[in-house]
Amino acid sequence: MTNIEQLVDEIVKRIQPEITTNTVLVEGSGRHVHLDRATIDALFGEGYQLTKAKDLSQPGQYACKERITIASGKNSFQNVVILGPERQASQVEISATDATTLGLRVPVRESGDIAGTPGIVLINGERSVILKTGLIVAKRHIHMTEEDARRFKVTKGEIVQVKIDGYRPLIFDDVVIRVSDKFATTMHIDYDEANACGLKPGSRGEVLKKSGL
Protein backbone atom coordinates (compact mmCIF):
# COMPACT_ATOMS: atom_id res chain seq x y z
CA MET A 1 0.00 0.00 0.00
CA THR A 2 1.05 3.57 -0.55
CA ASN A 3 1.53 5.88 2.41
CA ILE A 4 -1.75 7.62 1.64
CA GLU A 5 -3.68 4.34 1.51
CA GLN A 6 -2.21 3.38 4.88
CA LEU A 7 -3.17 6.76 6.25
CA VAL A 8 -6.74 6.36 4.99
CA ASP A 9 -6.96 2.88 6.55
CA GLU A 10 -5.69 4.20 9.84
CA ILE A 11 -8.14 7.11 9.89
CA VAL A 12 -11.13 4.93 8.99
CA LYS A 13 -10.16 2.48 11.73
CA ARG A 14 -9.91 5.22 14.34
CA ILE A 15 -13.03 7.15 13.45
CA GLN A 16 -15.63 4.60 12.46
CA PRO A 17 -17.20 2.74 15.37
CA GLU A 18 -16.12 -0.88 15.11
CA ILE A 19 -19.34 -2.61 14.20
CA THR A 20 -19.07 -6.27 14.99
CA THR A 21 -21.33 -8.76 13.31
CA ASN A 22 -21.72 -10.41 16.68
CA THR A 23 -25.21 -10.43 18.05
CA VAL A 24 -26.76 -11.57 21.31
CA LEU A 25 -30.21 -12.88 22.12
CA VAL A 26 -32.28 -10.16 23.82
CA GLU A 27 -34.93 -11.02 26.40
CA GLY A 28 -37.46 -8.75 28.09
CA SER A 29 -37.79 -9.44 31.82
CA GLY A 30 -41.22 -8.91 33.32
CA ARG A 31 -41.70 -7.92 36.95
CA HIS A 32 -40.45 -10.64 39.30
CA VAL A 33 -39.14 -11.33 42.77
CA HIS A 34 -36.16 -13.19 44.20
CA LEU A 35 -36.72 -14.40 47.78
CA ASP A 36 -34.34 -15.20 50.63
CA ARG A 37 -34.91 -18.06 53.07
CA ALA A 38 -36.50 -15.93 55.80
CA THR A 39 -38.99 -14.41 53.37
CA ILE A 40 -39.94 -17.82 51.91
CA ASP A 41 -40.47 -19.09 55.47
CA ALA A 42 -42.67 -16.11 56.30
CA LEU A 43 -44.74 -16.24 53.11
CA PHE A 44 -45.07 -20.01 52.62
CA GLY A 45 -44.21 -21.61 55.94
CA GLU A 46 -41.03 -22.80 57.68
CA GLY A 47 -38.73 -24.77 55.35
CA TYR A 48 -41.02 -24.47 52.34
CA GLN A 49 -39.40 -25.43 49.04
CA LEU A 50 -40.41 -23.45 45.96
CA THR A 51 -41.60 -25.52 42.98
CA LYS A 52 -39.74 -25.18 39.69
CA ALA A 53 -42.18 -24.50 36.84
CA LYS A 54 -39.87 -23.55 33.97
CA ASP A 55 -36.15 -23.20 33.31
CA LEU A 56 -34.91 -19.75 32.27
CA SER A 57 -32.16 -18.85 29.81
CA GLN A 58 -29.58 -18.48 32.59
CA PRO A 59 -28.36 -21.93 33.73
CA GLY A 60 -29.79 -22.95 37.14
CA GLN A 61 -32.35 -20.12 37.15
CA TYR A 62 -36.04 -20.97 36.96
CA ALA A 63 -39.54 -19.56 37.29
CA CYS A 64 -41.53 -21.01 40.18
CA LYS A 65 -45.10 -22.23 40.25
CA GLU A 66 -45.82 -20.03 43.28
CA ARG A 67 -46.97 -16.45 42.66
CA ILE A 68 -47.32 -13.54 45.09
CA THR A 69 -48.79 -10.06 45.28
CA ILE A 70 -46.58 -6.99 45.66
CA ALA A 71 -48.32 -3.94 47.14
CA SER A 72 -47.64 -0.29 47.91
CA GLY A 73 -49.98 2.16 49.61
CA LYS A 74 -51.25 3.23 46.19
CA ASN A 75 -51.59 0.05 44.18
CA SER A 76 -50.62 -3.59 43.84
CA PHE A 77 -49.67 -6.24 41.28
CA GLN A 78 -51.00 -9.77 41.68
CA ASN A 79 -49.66 -12.99 40.29
CA VAL A 80 -46.02 -11.83 40.30
CA VAL A 81 -43.60 -14.60 39.40
CA ILE A 82 -40.94 -15.81 41.84
CA LEU A 83 -37.59 -16.72 40.29
CA GLY A 84 -35.52 -19.44 41.92
CA PRO A 85 -33.27 -20.55 43.44
CA GLU A 86 -33.48 -18.63 46.70
CA ARG A 87 -31.11 -15.69 47.13
CA GLN A 88 -29.05 -14.24 49.97
CA ALA A 89 -31.32 -11.17 49.97
CA SER A 90 -34.84 -10.70 48.66
CA GLN A 91 -35.13 -8.40 45.64
CA VAL A 92 -38.12 -7.17 43.63
CA GLU A 93 -37.58 -6.06 40.02
CA ILE A 94 -40.19 -3.91 38.32
CA SER A 95 -40.34 -1.51 35.37
CA ALA A 96 -40.43 2.27 35.75
CA THR A 97 -44.03 2.09 34.49
CA ASP A 98 -44.80 -0.29 37.37
CA ALA A 99 -43.09 2.14 39.77
CA THR A 100 -45.43 4.91 38.61
CA THR A 101 -48.44 2.60 39.04
CA LEU A 102 -47.26 1.83 42.58
CA GLY A 103 -46.61 5.54 43.27
CA LEU A 104 -42.99 4.85 44.26
CA ARG A 105 -39.67 6.33 43.23
CA VAL A 106 -37.49 3.36 42.35
CA PRO A 107 -33.84 3.64 41.27
CA VAL A 108 -32.23 1.88 38.30
CA ARG A 109 -29.73 -0.57 39.79
CA GLU A 110 -27.72 -3.64 38.93
CA SER A 111 -29.05 -6.83 40.48
CA GLY A 112 -27.83 -7.24 44.07
CA ASP A 113 -27.06 -3.53 44.52
CA ILE A 114 -30.01 -2.83 46.80
CA ALA A 115 -28.56 -0.58 49.52
CA GLY A 116 -30.82 2.43 50.04
CA THR A 117 -33.57 1.19 47.72
CA PRO A 118 -37.22 1.37 48.77
CA GLY A 119 -39.15 -1.57 50.17
CA ILE A 120 -42.53 -3.06 49.34
CA VAL A 121 -45.09 -5.42 50.87
CA LEU A 122 -45.15 -9.05 49.70
CA ILE A 123 -48.40 -10.97 50.15
CA ASN A 124 -49.32 -14.63 49.81
CA GLY A 125 -52.93 -15.18 50.82
CA GLU A 126 -53.14 -14.33 54.53
CA ARG A 127 -49.37 -14.15 54.99
CA SER A 128 -47.39 -11.01 54.28
CA VAL A 129 -43.87 -9.65 54.69
CA ILE A 130 -42.77 -6.03 54.80
CA LEU A 131 -39.62 -5.88 52.71
CA LYS A 132 -37.61 -2.91 54.04
CA THR A 133 -35.46 -2.61 50.95
CA GLY A 134 -34.81 -4.40 47.63
CA LEU A 135 -37.17 -2.76 45.13
CA ILE A 136 -35.28 -1.88 41.93
CA VAL A 137 -35.65 -1.19 38.23
CA ALA A 138 -33.00 -3.47 36.75
CA LYS A 139 -30.19 -1.80 34.80
CA ARG A 140 -29.96 -3.29 31.32
CA HIS A 141 -27.08 -5.75 30.97
CA ILE A 142 -25.60 -8.57 28.97
CA HIS A 143 -24.81 -11.91 30.61
CA MET A 144 -21.81 -13.31 28.76
CA THR A 145 -19.76 -16.47 28.95
CA GLU A 146 -15.96 -16.11 29.25
CA GLU A 147 -15.65 -17.46 25.73
CA ASP A 148 -18.09 -14.98 24.21
CA ALA A 149 -16.44 -12.13 26.13
CA ARG A 150 -13.16 -13.03 24.41
CA ARG A 151 -14.93 -13.34 21.05
CA PHE A 152 -16.70 -9.98 21.49
CA LYS A 153 -13.47 -8.47 22.90
CA VAL A 154 -15.27 -7.09 25.97
CA THR A 155 -14.50 -7.35 29.66
CA LYS A 156 -16.51 -7.53 32.86
CA GLY A 157 -18.08 -4.18 33.69
CA GLU A 158 -17.43 -2.74 30.22
CA ILE A 159 -20.12 -0.47 28.81
CA VAL A 160 -21.27 -1.10 25.25
CA GLN A 161 -24.04 0.01 22.93
CA VAL A 162 -26.54 -2.50 21.56
CA LYS A 163 -28.53 -1.93 18.39
CA ILE A 164 -31.97 -3.50 18.24
CA ASP A 165 -33.71 -3.83 14.91
CA GLY A 166 -37.22 -4.30 16.21
CA TYR A 167 -40.19 -2.53 14.67
CA ARG A 168 -39.14 0.49 16.76
CA PRO A 169 -35.37 0.39 16.18
CA LEU A 170 -33.01 2.04 18.65
CA ILE A 171 -29.54 1.79 20.09
CA PHE A 172 -29.32 1.19 23.82
CA ASP A 173 -26.35 2.97 25.36
CA ASP A 174 -24.87 2.29 28.80
CA VAL A 175 -25.31 -1.50 28.58
CA VAL A 176 -23.12 -3.20 31.18
CA ILE A 177 -21.30 -6.46 30.41
CA ARG A 178 -21.35 -9.17 33.07
CA VAL A 179 -19.05 -12.15 32.52
CA SER A 180 -19.20 -15.62 34.05
CA ASP A 181 -19.06 -19.18 32.81
CA LYS A 182 -22.19 -19.72 34.87
CA PHE A 183 -24.03 -17.49 32.38
CA ALA A 184 -25.57 -18.11 28.98
CA THR A 185 -24.91 -15.15 26.68
CA THR A 186 -28.14 -13.13 26.73
CA MET A 187 -29.07 -9.45 27.05
CA HIS A 188 -31.75 -8.56 29.59
CA ILE A 189 -33.95 -5.48 29.35
CA ASP A 190 -37.17 -4.68 31.15
CA TYR A 191 -40.63 -4.41 29.59
CA ASP A 192 -40.47 -0.62 29.17
CA GLU A 193 -37.30 -1.08 27.18
CA ALA A 194 -38.72 -4.09 25.30
CA ASN A 195 -41.79 -2.07 24.34
CA ALA A 196 -39.70 0.98 23.40
CA CYS A 197 -37.71 -1.06 20.84
CA GLY A 198 -40.53 -3.30 19.64
CA LEU A 199 -38.85 -6.47 20.89
CA LYS A 200 -40.17 -9.80 19.66
CA PRO A 201 -39.38 -13.30 20.96
CA GLY A 202 -36.04 -14.34 19.51
CA SER A 203 -34.93 -10.76 18.76
CA ARG A 204 -31.17 -10.24 18.68
CA GLY A 205 -29.08 -7.16 19.42
CA GLU A 206 -25.88 -6.14 17.70
CA VAL A 207 -23.15 -5.27 20.19
CA LEU A 208 -21.46 -2.04 19.09
CA LYS A 209 -18.05 -1.63 20.65
CA LYS A 210 -16.69 1.85 20.15
CA SER A 211 -12.99 2.06 19.46
CA GLY A 212 -10.96 5.17 20.01
CA LEU A 213 -13.87 7.58 20.06
Cis peptide before 85 (omega within 30 of 0): yes
Which helix H or strand E contains 94, and what residues bound it?
none
Query: Would you say 7 or 38 has its CB closer to a copy of itself?
Result: 7
Q: Is 158 in the site for a copy of itself (CB under 8 A)?
A: no
Question: 149 CB contacts (<8 Å, ≥6 apart)?
Answer: 155, 156, 177, 179
Burial bucket for residue 155 (CB in 10 Å: 0-12, 13-18, 19+): exposed
Residue of 122, 144, 197, 207 interacting with a copy of itself (CB under 8 A): 197
Whole-number minimum distance, CB 116 to a copy of itself, in Å?
Answer: 16
Whole-number minimum distance, CB 46 to a copy of itself, in Å?
Answer: 36
Dihedral Cα 178, 157, 170, 140, nearest 10 deg: 50
Q: Is 1 in the site for a copy of itself (CB under 8 A)?
A: no
Stretch that binds a copy of itself, among 12-20, 38-46, 50-58, 61-69 (CB under 8 A): 12-20
Residues that bind a copy of itself (CB under 8 A): 4, 7-8, 11-12, 15-16, 95-97, 100, 108, 139-140, 161, 163, 167-174, 191-193, 195-198
